[in-house]
Amino acid sequence: MNTEWAEITLKNLRQCQGEVILPGSKSIANRALLMAALCDQGQRTTLTNVLRSDDTDRMIEALQALGVRLEVESATSTTVHVHGCGGHWPQQPAELDLGNAGTAMRPLLAVLSATWQADARITLTGDARMQERPVAALVDALVQGGAPLQCSSQWGYPPVRIAAGLQGGTFTIDGSASSQYISALLMALPLLPQDSVLRLVGEVVSRPYIELTLAMLARFGIDIIVQNDHQFLIAGGQRYQSPGHYWVEGDASAASYWLAAAAIAGGPLTIRGVGRLSIQGDVAFADCVAQMGAKVTIHDEYIEVEGAALYALDADYNAIPDAAMTMATLGLFATGTTHIRNVANWRIKETDRLAAMATELRKVGAQVEETASSIHITPPAELRHGVIDTYHDHRMAMCFALLGFSNAGVTIRDPLCCAKTYPTFFDELLRLTAAE
């Protein structure tokens, strides 16, 4: 991407066709990096197709600060060799700055609470937005288990100070805020000497991400007994075991932008890196696009899309809230009102996505109704040009890029924010389309 772009204007983009190879999944990459570091001393794991972005670089930097040996060929290399330390961190830094990387903050908070053995404390912090993103449900659950955590500014928000003391037992956590809290505990509790029971209360959001975590834990030798949708039995004293090689599949959330682009602009487009064999829940967005009228063919490891007349959906997106962001702008090209329901957790993401999405959609003429947990979008008779603020949120930038297929076009401020998960997104968009 042009590193000098303060904003980018997209207009009269034409048929989106050809082939795109997705970057590796951020969610899988950061989990895999941490799991590989937790493998037994002397075990090496080779991770391939690792997304290199702000979030994954934060995890890599944190593990290096903890003394984990990582071999990375270059700043852009997607192959990373990780040497396990078995949770016995060779270095004890006083602080880890994780920027706005929630997929680094949440699992490290739980795992370090389970493994920290030094007398000194370690503080996990981040940028200004991270310090506004709550982790209270996770902090409360860890405190239940004896972790002497301290939130230095406001309870339930970073910075969080960690010390040794977490013990196994029964943990109860509210699953309605973020599945990352649950995944973090599933990664951490097997490391404790004692057995544990993890109980979920409330409606569990983004459940497919929990299934993803369980599948990855199994690959790394960790056994979790799923008693039912709300309870897990976790034996203590388990040890992560390297699978030797772990391929990070493509980012299914990123696939949503290309599914939508091809649905709008005709295609045919082949999206490589996710498919029928994907362990990510967001691959279900392909089914949503098909329900809208596009022609979608899902193969084992790739998806083919061709456009058609599109019709709005009314659906519950609790399981795939990240991909649901794309539906908000795709709906502007569909007949009818798009109803995106049960996405309250949009409000604790990189920005308050419900408020931000409503504000920016109105700029292009859409009629928008926003509630505490949903958004309802009716496209105007004719879209108008909007200058879109992205709120330092990568998904806002990429979602609104779809308006480049309209006659009015769109100007997106701070397109570089997509470096969080997809640094080459706009380069790929311009490659796959032709603009006047």
Task: List, by residue number, the catalytic residues.
Answer: 322
CA distances from 377 to 318, 331, 359 (A): 18, 7, 12
Place of tokens 């993103």: 133
Please tell me whether 26 is known to bind a ligand. Answer: yes
Please tell me whether 77 is known to bind a ligand. Answer: no
CA distance 342 to 62: 34
Please tell me whether 2 is known to bind a ligand. Answer: no
Please tell me whether 291 is known to bind a ligand. Answer: no
Write the burial class of residue 245 (CB in 10 Å: 0-12 exposed, 13-18 middle, 19+ buried). Answer: exposed
Residue 364: name the closest of 327, 402, 326, 393 by CA: 402
Residue 127: how many CB atoms within 10 A of its CB?
Answer: 15
Please tell me whether 74 is known to bind a ligand. Answer: no
Question: Which residues touch 436 (CB under 8 Å, ≥6 apart)?
Answer: 11, 12
CA distance 195 to 152: 30
Please tell me whether 44 is known to bind a ligand. Answer: no
Please tell me whether 395 is known to bind a ligand. Answer: yes
Please tell me whether 420 is known to bind a ligand. Answer: yes
To the nearest 5 percent, what fractions of the chain are helix, strand and coil?
A: 35, 20, 40
State the amino acid at position 322 in one-letter form. D
Cβ atoms of residues 68 and 83 within 8 Å: yes
Please tell me whether 27 is known to bind a ligand. Answer: yes
Please tell me whether 322 is known to bind a ligand. Answer: yes
Write the burial class of residue 40 (CB in 10 Å: 0-12 exposed, 13-18 middle, 19+ buried). Answer: middle
Strand partners, 73: none
Residue 163: name the closest of 176, 146, 180, 175 by CA: 146
Please tell me whether 11 is known to bind a ligand. Answer: no
Please tell me whether 178 is known to bind a ligand. Answer: yes
Please tell me whether 180 is known to bind a ligand. Answer: yes
Which positions make up the binding site for 3-phosphoshikimate?
Answer: 26-27, 31, 178-180, 206, 322, 345, 349
Which positions make up the binding site?
Answer: 26-27, 31, 102, 133, 178-180, 206, 322, 345, 349, 353, 395, 420
Which positions make up the binding site for phosphoenolpyruvate?
Answer: 26, 102, 133, 180, 353, 395, 420
